[in-house]
Amino acid sequence: MDRHMQTVFPRRAEVTRNTAETRIHVALDLDGRGDAEIASGIGFLDHMLHALSRHSLIDLRLHAEGDLHIDGHHTTEDCGIVLGQALRAALGEKRGIVRYGHAVIPMDEALAEAAIDISGRPFLVWQVPFAHSKVGDMDTELFEEFFRALAMHAGIALHVVLRHGHNAHHVAEGCFKAVARALRAAVELDPRMPQAIPSTKGVLEA
């Protein structure tokens, strides 16, 4: 694996990850306007990543080339890995951030909830049943893989719960938008504590 990481403060990062299965480059700006340039090779994943960028106000560029002739698993998971690594790099020592975020998002009949703690201790709770195995060109089981990779490599505790809903498109989009809004709140700079690390330990890491 050939990996190059470059971080420019404040709150920007670029990560490139090359393996035998995928080649992925991500650049992001936590203090952006939600502008996105996405090309993962998986149409529905592109749609979801656009939503993640727009509703988190994180500028995001992601380009991926993967072994889609096999299936979408490696590309989806590795996009989560690289996006998580870029988030972690852009956050640096996490000084001044709010740290916690929570959102409940309705998407027609679906209602999705997400909660985030930028703790440095990664964890995923995923309680999102899908009534269908595919949405668009994407296997619905891959959403959990994406968010697990994102949480593990960003160093965040992430809970995503579907309160109700049955349309697979609405369920997935509600989850991504809920995570986006929770992430937006968590990475926001706290004007009351702009130089503080929001932890009684004085650090936010594993």
pLDDT digits (tens, 9 = 90+) for 147-187: 999 999 999 999 999 999 999 999 999 999 999 999 999 99
Q: What is the 3-state secondary structure (H, E, C) of 82-104?
A: HHHHHHHHHHCCCCCECCEEEEE
Per-residue model confidence (pLDDT) at position 196 = 80
Q: Are 116 and 156 in contact (CB under 8 A)?
A: yes
For residue 95, give both structure tokens.
Answer: 């000084």
Q: Three-class SS of residue 39?
A: strand
pTM of the model: 0.93
pLDDT category of residue 1 using cuts at 50, 70 and 90 = very low
From 169, 167, 148, select the one nearest 159 (Cα to Cα). Answer: 148
Per-residue model confidence (pLDDT) at position 199 = 64
Sign, CA torsion 118/120/125/130: positive
Q: Which CATH number fits domain 2-187: 3.40.630.30, 3.40.50.720, 3.30.230.40, 3.40.50.2020?
A: 3.30.230.40
H or E element that contains 146: helix 142-154
Q: Are 142 and 40 in contact (CB under 8 A)?
A: no
Write the single-letter amino acid at 127: Q
Is the pLDDT reported for residue 4 higher than 90? Answer: no
Sign, CA torsion 76/78/82/87: positive
H or E element that contains 151: helix 142-154
What does the pLDDT look like over 77-124, one tens digit per residue?
Answer: 999 999 999 999 999 989 889 999 999 999 999 999 999 999 899 999
From 179, 184, 183, 185, select the one nearest 112 (Cα to Cα). Answer: 179
H or E element that contains 26: strand 22-29
First to last CA, the chain: 24
From 40, 25, 23, select the one nearest 136 (Cα to Cα). Answer: 40
